[in-house]
């Protein structure tokens, strides 16, 4: 169900007209739909019905406290990759025993904070990390629960910058070395082996790579159990893709993904953890921007917006597509015309779309970028000294600002000038 629809000619988020939010908070801004977040989480719950499982929302996709709290209230855990994300998850109400700590570069300070604050498990990515974690755990008189992230050398058939399961990627240990690393872990007094972790990439639109990777995990589970390890938990990562272009074939549904998990791993009797981020949050959010100028060039026309690559970096970084809609519904029979949709940052890369067919636009018109709820606000920056844009949460006919736009004074006061200047 789509919760961003036209009603009486105006684009809404649930029951709130987006133009009303724009008038209240200014542009650009992000807005999220509570109903969409809840629905997408429940789709994963339904997909894993009957299996012992935990759905850990990947905070790297969207880390606003209100978004996390919305999902935590439904029972979600959290997948975190930094101490900041760990503390945000705790602040949003996720208990430590529902937080999984991932990432290739965990520091000893991060390990210590998580062990002291409570943690479900560490997904260990390397032998040096394993030894460091053991040292920290022993210093605290604790045992750290771990899975080892194995790299199955599976091509996820996704963008090269978000593929994580091939042997040339930085993530995990080669699956061929798993037995040796698990033996090493079992000999460490500060470590408790609880399972296996695998994650092959993001924005996957084909279930075959999942099936291949999970088949390898199933085989490894049997081998490690035969070696005497208590493998009772399988962390399968996230990665299921979303439809960024509505005209394209829809990616697999969570229920189909769940069927792959049952087929490949259901016989093992393990607790299943998954770490979706994009599929829960991606289509739950949009970014709204205003046209500053319509500029006519020699060969093309440009829509110059008040949003820029620092606000939504995916098109610049990944060449990613986002559908763009006017907030005022075009009249029937309106003929589109092609525009290059760009921002005001002094970079040619500050381009959202090239020759995108849109209704004729004028300065002051509002547009919405769909599917911007994941890897949108979390990847934003203040490049060109542009303030981070507000985030807004909608629930029914209500909306609330869940992160305010900083003032220029606030931004400037973060810097300090040394005494010799």
Alpha-carbon gap, residue 282 to 148, rounded angstroms: 28
Task: Answer positive or negative: Cα dihedral of 111, 115, 116, 120.
Answer: positive
Alpha-carbon gap, residue 201 to 157, rounded angstroms: 9
Alpha-carbon gap, residue 237 to 198, rounded angstroms: 6
Q: Which residues are catalytic?
A: 346
Record the tokens describing residue 261, joined without a space: 């998990």
Alpha-carbon gap, residue 52 to 79, rounded angstroms: 18
Give the residue carrying structure tokens 């470590």.
191
Alpha-carbon gap, residue 145 to 273, rounded angstroms: 14
Residues 6 or more apart whose CB falls under 8 angstroms from that of 201 comprise 156, 158, 162, 163, 164, 165, 209, 239
DSSP label at 297? -
String of DSSP letters for 77-94 = EEEESSHHHHHHHHHTT-
């Amino acid at each position: 169900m789509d919760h961003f629809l036209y009603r009486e000619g105006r684009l809404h988020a649930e029951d709130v007209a987006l133009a009303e939010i724009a008038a209240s908070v200014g542009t650009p801004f992000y807005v999220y739909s509570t109903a969409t977040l809840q629905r997408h989480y429940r789709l994963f719950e339904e997909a894993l019905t009957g299996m012992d499982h935990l759905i850990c929302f990947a905070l790297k996709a969207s880390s606003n406290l209100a978004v996390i709290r919305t999902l935590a209230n439904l029972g979600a855990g959290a997948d975190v990759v930094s101490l900041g994300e760990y503390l945000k998850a705790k602040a949003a109400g996720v208990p430590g025993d529902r937080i999984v700590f991932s990432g290739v570069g965990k520091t000893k300070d991060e390990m210590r904070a998580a062990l002291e604050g409570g943690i479900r498990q560490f997904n260990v990515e390397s032998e040096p990390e394993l030894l460091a974690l053991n040292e920290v755990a022993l210093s605290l008189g604790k045992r750290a629960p771990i899975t080892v992230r194995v790299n199955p050398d599976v091509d996820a058939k996704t963008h090269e910058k978000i593929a994580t399961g091939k042997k040339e990627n930085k993530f995990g240990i080669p699956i061929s070395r798993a037995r040796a690393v698990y033996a090493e872990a079992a000999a460490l007094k500060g470590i408790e082996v609880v399972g296996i972790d695998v994650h092959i990439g993001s924005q996957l639109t084909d279930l075959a790579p999942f099936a291949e990777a999970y088949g390898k995990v199933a085989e490894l589970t049997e081998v490690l159990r035969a070696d005497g390890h208590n493998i009772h938990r399988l962390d399968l990562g996230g990665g299921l893709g979303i439809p960024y272009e509505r005209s394209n074939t829809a990616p697999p549904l969570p229920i189909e993904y769940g069927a792959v998990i049952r087929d490949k791993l259901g016989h093992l009797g393990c607790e299943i953890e998954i770490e979706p981020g994009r599929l829960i949050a991606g289509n739950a959010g949009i970014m709204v921007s205003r046209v500053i100028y319509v500029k006519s060039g020699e060969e093309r026309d440009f829509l110059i917006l008040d949003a820029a690559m620092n606000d939504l970096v995916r098109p610049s970084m990944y060449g990613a597509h986002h559908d763009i809609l006017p907030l005022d519904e075009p009249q029937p029979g309106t003929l589109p015309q092609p525009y290059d949709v760009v921002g005001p940052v002094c970079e040619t890369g500050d381009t959202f779309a090239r020759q995108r067919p849109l209704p004729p636009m004028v300065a002051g018109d509002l547009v919405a970028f769909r599917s911007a709820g994941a890897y949108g606000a979390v990847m934003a920056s203040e490049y060109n000294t542009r303030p981070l844009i507000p985030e807004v949460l909608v629930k029914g006919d209500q909306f609330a600002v869940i992160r305010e736009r900083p003032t220029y004074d606030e931004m400037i006061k973060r810097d300090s000038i040394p005494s010799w200047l």
